[in-house]
Each structure stands twice: as C-alpha cells, then as structure tokens.
Chains A and B, each alone.
Chain A
Amino acid sequence: MTQVTNDTSAPKGEPWVWFTSLGLIVGLTMVAGLLALVLYNGFSVFWAPPVPTVKLSDGTVLMGQMAQHRVRPDSPASQPKYERQYQVGLRELNGTSYVWADEAKIVQENFPPQTMGLERMENGPAFVTPIAFVDSKGQRVLFKKESFEGLTSEVEYAAEIREELNAIQRQKIGAVNAKMEASRIDLRRAEDRSEPTAAIKTQIAALELEFNQLRELAEKVKAQNALAKIEVRDARGREVVLPMATIVRAWLPNDMSVWDRVSLFFSRLREFLFDEPREANTEGGLMPAIFGTLVMTVFMSLMVTPFGVIAAIYLREYAKDGVVLRMVRISVNNLAGVPSIVFGVFGLGFFVYVLGGSIDQLFFSDQLKYNNNTPVFGTGGLLWCSLTLALMTLPVVIVATEEALSAVPRGMREASLAAGASKWQTIRDILLPASAPGILTGVILAMARGAGEVAPLMLVGVVKLAPTLPVDMVEPFLHFDRKFMHLGFHIYDLGFQSPDSDAARPMVFATTLLLIVLVVCLNLGAITIRNRLRARYKGASF
C-alpha cells in the first residue's frame, strides 16, 4: 500500500519543455517570416531584372518587367493555370502601367538587348525600344549601343537642371513668398489701424520684383534643356517623343553586367533614402518621411522622459502608500491599454483645439485676423504629434522608472540618508543615476511604440505630402507648428489610399523595411547608451 514506485518520483515537468519551446518556435517563425517577406519584397524594388518582350496568341505584344506570377482565380485547384502581371509603363498611352497576361497564351518570350527602361518624373516608368535622342544643343543622335553613355550624360545633365530649378523654385521663391505673406499681413493690419502703409507697399513691390526676377531666371534655366528629348518606340510599334527633362534614369535591362545592376540598385536606394517623393509618393524618395519620423520620435522621447520620470519619482518616493496610490497606479497601467486612436482624438480635441487655439488667440491673434483665420498652432503639427505620443507612451516610462527606482539597493538609499542627505539629494545624486539604465529601457520601449504609431498621428498633424521639413535653415529653424510626413502614415497612404495600388505595392514593402530599420536603429542607439551606463555600475556586490 505504502510502496513508493520509481514512477511517482519521476519528474513530470519534462513535456512542458517541448510545449514551451513549441510556443517560442511558432512565435519566432512568424516574426522571421514577416521579416523575410519584407526584406525580399523591400529590396527587390531596387533591383532591375531583365525585361522580356512577350508575344501572346491573340497577336498582342508586351514589353515590361514581370511584377507578379500567380494562379488564375478561375482555374480549378487540381489543374492550376497561371497568369503573369507585367509592368509595361507608359501610363499616358496605355491607360495603366500594369497588364495581366494568361500564361497559356504566351507564344514567345525573348529579351532583346536594345530594350530600355526609363524612370520618369511623371506617369511612371516606361519600357521601350529607343530610336534616337536629341542632346541639349539640339543635335540628333541615332541610338546605338555605343551611344548609351551619351544618353546617360544627357539624362544627368537634365537632372542637374532640374535640381537648379528646384533650388530656385522651392527655396528662393519659397522664401520670397513667405516674406511677401508676412508683408501682406503687415499691410492688412496697417490698413485696419489706418497707419501709414507706404513703407510696406514699397517692400511688397520690391518683393514682387524679386519674385518676377526669380521666375525669369527659372525660365532661363529651364530653357537650357528645352531641346533635349528622346524618341522611342513602344511594344506595339507606336513612336513617342519624351522630353529629356522628364527622364530620371535610363538603363538597358537586357544588356547590363551584374556590376551595372548593383550600381543601379544602390543608385535607386540612395534616391529612396535621400530624395523627395514624386508621383503621389509612389516613386522617388522618402527623405521627408524619414526625417519627420525621426524628429517626431526624438521630440516625443524628450517630452515623455522628464514627465514620466518625475511622475514615477513622486509615486515611488514621496506618495504615501494607500488606496489612492494604488488606484493611481492601476490607472496608469490601464492607460497603456487604451487604443491609440483615443489618444489621437484627445490630442485633436485638447492639444490642437484647446491648447493650440489658445496659443493662437494669445500670441498669433494678428495672424488670425489678417490672414483669413489661418491657424498657426490651432491645427495639427509636430508639437501636437509629439505631445500626443508622449502622453500615449507615458505609462511605459512611468512603470519602467518605478521598477528601476525600486530595484536600487536599499543599502544605497540608506547610506545616502545616513550621510545626512535630504530625500531630494538622495534621489538626485544616488537613485536617478543608479536607475538610469532601467529608465532608458522604458524610453526605448516608448520610442519603439511611438515610432511605429500611425492612427493618432493622422488626427494631429501627419500629412501625405508636406512641402517643408519641420527642421530647416529658415528661422526659427525648428517649426513645431508644421505638419510633417511620417513613414507609418506613408505606408498606410501608399497601400490603401493610392490611386494606382499596383504601382504602390513595391514601395509599401520598401517603406515598411525602412520603418523597421529606423526603429531598430533608434533602439540600438538607446541600447548602446544603456549598456554604457550599465557598465558603470557593473561589479556592484549587493
């Protein structure tokens, strides 16, 4: 009866090792799959594959880059039939950039070496056969393989002209416009108060003169390249003339070395990272969105850290333990679970309308009165975005700081107090430095959450396309009131609001990849700082 067998004393927990590891494997596989998908699709945007010319059984000819390959939705699962999607480009002629082709109907596929890919400022790319090009001096050159280099230098020249024009139009004319705007407000105010207006009027006249001069200059610059164009033939044999000024890049996808493809890859990657978007954001670069995301995240961290730390110090060090404190703590923790869109609505209602509106009433009343009630801070902007996200991530920082403070060895606290330090001196000199790594962990988590947040930002200041950056060289350099672009919103906008979703798809992946990389970089930076701090306290024997 009382006999104890070996079986009953055998450990019973072993199967749980398998169970728990299974959980980990499932989780990691999903994350790895997501990352692999994003990496593959994100990087393939920049890669230039060979471009086939395809003849179909009904006589149509396509020339374009293959975009998708899938089972036809109407084919039975037992005998799948495939179809391919080609990016043929030349949207202004074809009506769409993408064409589906039934794989069964393809009778011939070849890769003619003279096929040329063109990236353009408007209407998407084009895959064509070049005939000839006219250089900036008006000389017509018949296209041969040897003349490709000449064409490339013409394209580069066109890009230089574009940049020069951009500098004049966006920066110089923009600055004049801003001054003119300010002067007009001055004028309206002066008229309203029946003050002398002569000086302001001369100023406006001078600015208008400057404006016209700049516009003439822009026209002159533009004219330098008016002659250059390229004559091409599309797959159906139609001849098209494209102004050189609209060409961003030209390449021969079927006649390139691997090295050429790699350098094209990096050239596109560079454009993606450092240039501005074009074509409703589906082409070009993401610099404003990267910059906006970075600036917003940094400001958010700068705002949430002091508030969170101060609140946590009060909760942990000063507040008396009791029902109220416990309620506050529970509320703070629950705040972390409130849907982010709620914070967005609050940000819009409180920060933008109440706070921003009051700021406008108090400090920008002139602007409101004489500039058609255009709000300055009473509309979404960088400041309100940062504040809204700071509020959203506040619980993370508070909880982490409280944990860090309570993890400081009791002995250190006592030693400081026994030395005659006041409570505040102890907090400032001993507790805060010792809990800095833990606080930083909270800030890292807050940054990770804040950088990837989209929903609240849509309400309080992120836009599809911002003409200016929130930080620039115009006084006061830091424009807290400006709307800005954000990578997360960019992904949403490209993927779901884009008129040409086929054209936007690759960019969605590339942007996602970029956002992930950005968040990882921000985190790595913060983790490096934390590890440095930790190293200082290493070896503590408590």
Chain B
Amino acid sequence: MNPSASRIKVQPATESEGRKDYIRIQDYGFWYGAKKALDAISLDVPERRVVAFIGPSGCGKSTLLRNLNRMNDLVDGIRHEGDIQIAGRSIYDPGIEVISLRRRVGMVFQKSNPFPKSIYDNVVYALRIMGVTDRALLDEACETSLRKAALWDEVKDRLNDSALGLSGGQMQRLCIARAIANRPEILLMDEPCSALDPIATGKIEELIHELKAQFTIVIVTHSMQQAARVSDHTAFFYLGKLIEYDTTEKIFMNPSQAQTEAYISGRFG
C-alpha cells in the first residue's frame, strides 16, 4: 500500500458542474482512547450530491459519518485533529452549539429507531423540540416530510397510531421523514438499508434520488451495488485511511488504486 495515498487530496471534478463544496474535511484524524480510528482524512462533498462511503467493516467510514454531526461526542475518551467544515464553518467552532449543528445535519441510522410515539409525533419531533407549537405548521411539516419520504399514502389515515406498528421498511422511511422534517441541509445515512428486504431497499434508494434535489447526502453502505446505484461520488476507506475518492463511475469502472479494485471486485474485504 502506498503510505502517501490517503494524504493526497483527491479533488473530484465538481467545479466543472458549478457546484461548490459543502462539507470540507481536512487532515482529519480521530481516536477512540488510544485507538486511532481515522488517519488524516481529507475529502470534500459538493452540495446536493450523494456521496457513498464504502469499505470493509472497521475501516472508519461510520466513524467519519458520525463525526459529521458530532454524534461521537457521546463516547468517552475521544480525540480528534484536523478540521471538518460545513458551509465554510468548522463544526468544532466554539461559537456553534452541537445542538444547532445537529439540527442542520440530519441522520438516519442503520437500525430504524422510531420513538414509541405516534407516527405524527415521530415526524414532528425535531420541530417540537425546537419549540414549534403551531398545529398548522406541524401538520404541514408532517405531510411534506412523509410525502418526501414516500410514506404519506401508506400512513395518512393512521397518523395517530403507534409508529411501532409499521413494517421494517416503513419504519426506516419514517425515520427518514423524521430526519428531514426540520429541513436540515445535510442528511447522513448510516447503512439505511442493511436490515431491509430488496423491495424496501429499492424504495429507499428511489427516495435518495429524489432527496438529492434538496439535500446533500452522505451514505455509508456495505452494498457495492447500492453505492453504484445511488451515489454521485464514492469514497473507499481501508483501515482508517481514505484510499480513493472520485466519481462513482470512475471508482467502479476504473479505480486508480489497486486496493480499491480488489475490494470492489470482491477479492478482499
């Protein structure tokens, strides 16, 4: 392995499309206690694009994703170096509260995790904790989000039923609706389809295509096909290092690194 590979700042061809970089990760390193999870990662995510993080388990892709909204702050003994900027501002800026950061960066988890509340209460949760009490506003946000998450037609007649009565795929789409209800700028998805059947997976992937028009999406996936289907750019991680980051087409058709090619063709990982 070329030790300098991850230090090369890979610049995808975004300027030509007139989109500005939205998330900038610069020389970012991260430790859980003494264990180094990420090593000098540098990559840029353009706005209103889908970026897929791929790589074998333990390669650091989820860690990086969870650092984008500082979910890893919950873990004891963490440490980082370098910087992550969103819309030109560091997320570690003392002037930015982690709560306001998370309101701008929504997240969908691997396991669907609806609250034991009604469907309606789940969707408007983020708005409610922001202090929105206007019923009309909440109703509207609920419908919009559920429509965007392609769930509205299935649940519009039972918004007050418990969210726990939904099927697995519906629950995950509900979580997406919940994550986009307060109109974040970025949507982080941590293996959103790993527990779903192919039909539900297909629906979520379609959804990602539609959401791309409004949100910048970062998705972590173990499925190469999924990465190929939904993303515009793909980053391949291995052992905490960014091996290669380029357009999805390039990564899958003509990767420049041998490790990437080996992983994609299934020879290791």
Contact = CB atoms under 8 A, between A and B. Distances in A.
Interface in B160-201: 162, 164-165, 168, 171, 175, 178-179, 182
A420 B182 contact: yes
Contacts of A425: 129
B103 A420 contact: yes
B113 A411 contact: yes
A143 B52 CA distance: 103
Interface in A387-423: 409, 411-412, 414-422
Contact of B111 (A411, A418, A420, A433): A411
B164 A541 contact: yes
B71 interface: yes
A536 interface: yes
Contact of B171 (A321, A416, A541): A541
B99 A420 contact: yes
Given A321-B76, A417-B102, A418-B179, A537 B113 contact: no
A409 B107 CA distance: 17
A418 B71 contact: yes
Interface string B89-126: 00000000001101100110101111111000000011
Given A536-B162, A538-B164, A541-B171, A420 B100 contact: yes
A315 to B, nearest CB: 16
B31 to A, nearest CB: 19
Nearest to A535: B162
Among A419, A539, A542, residue most surrounded by chain B Cβ atoms (within 10 Å): A419
Contacts of B164: 537-541
A160 interface: no
B129 A421 contact: yes
A419 B162 contact: no
A537 B116 CA distance: 6
Contact of A415 (B76, B100, B128, B178): B178
Interface string A271-294: 000000000000000000000000
A411 B111 CA distance: 7
Contacts of B165: 539
Contacts of A414: 71, 74, 107, 109, 113
Interface in B201-241: none
B13 interface: no
Contacts of A416: 115, 125
A419 B111 CA distance: 16
A151 to B, nearest CB: 65
Interface in A508-542: 536-542
Contact of B130 (A409, A418, A420, A434): A420
Contacts of A538: 164
Contacts of B179: 418-419
A424 B13 CA distance: 44
A537 B109 CA distance: 20
Contact of A418 (B76, B107, B128): B107
Given A418-B102, A420-B102, A420-B103, A542 B113 contact: yes
B109 to A, nearest CB: 6
Nearest to B175: A415
A433 B117 CA distance: 9
A430 interface: yes
B69 interface: yes
A429 interface: yes
A419 B116 contact: no
A419 B109 contact: no
Contact of B129 (A411, A429, A541, A542): A429
A541 B128 CA distance: 25
The dominant DSSP class at the A interface is helix
Interface residue range, chain B? 20 to 34
A540 B102 contact: no
A414 B116 CA distance: 14
A418 B69 contact: yes
Given A419-B182, A420-B103, A411 B109 contact: yes
Contact of A412 (B103, B106, B115): B115
Most buried by A among B100, B111, B113: B113
Nearest to B105: A418
Contacts of A539: 162, 164-165
Contacts of B102: 417-420
B106 A418 contact: yes
A409 B100 CA distance: 24
A536 B99 CA distance: 29
B122 to A, nearest CB: 9
Contacts of B115: 412, 415-416, 429-430, 434
Contacts of A409: 113
Contacts of A433: 116-117
A541 B130 CA distance: 28
A409 B76 CA distance: 18
B121 to A, nearest CB: 9
A424 to B, nearest CB: 10
Interface string B54-85: 00000000000000010100101000000000
Nearest to B113: A411
B113 A420 contact: no
B111 A417 contact: no
Contact of A419 (B76, B117, B125, B168): B125
Contacts of B117: 433
A425 B179 CA distance: 17
Nearest to B69: A418
Contacts of B74: 414, 417
Given A415-B113, A536-B162, A541-B168, A420 B129 contact: yes
A409 B111 CA distance: 11
Nearest to B125: A419
Contacts of B99: 420-422
A394 to B, nearest CB: 27
B79 to A, nearest CB: 17
Contacts of B116: 412, 433-434, 536-537, 540
A320 to B, nearest CB: 8
Given A411-B111, A419-B106, 11 more contacts: A412-B116, A415-B115, A418-B109, A419-B178, A420-B103, A421-B125, A430-B115, A433-B117, A536-B162, A537-B116, A540-B116
28 contacts: A409-B113, A411-B109, A412-B115, A414-B71, A414-B74, A414-B107, A414-B109, A414-B113, A415-B109, A415-B114, A415-B115, A416-B125, A417-B102, A418-B102, A418-B107, A418-B179, A419-B126, A419-B129, A419-B178, A420-B103, A420-B126, A421-B129, A422-B129, A425-B129, A429-B125, A539-B162, A541-B168, A541-B171
Closest 5 CB pairs of A and B: A411-B113, A420-B103, A418-B107, A419-B126, A420-B102
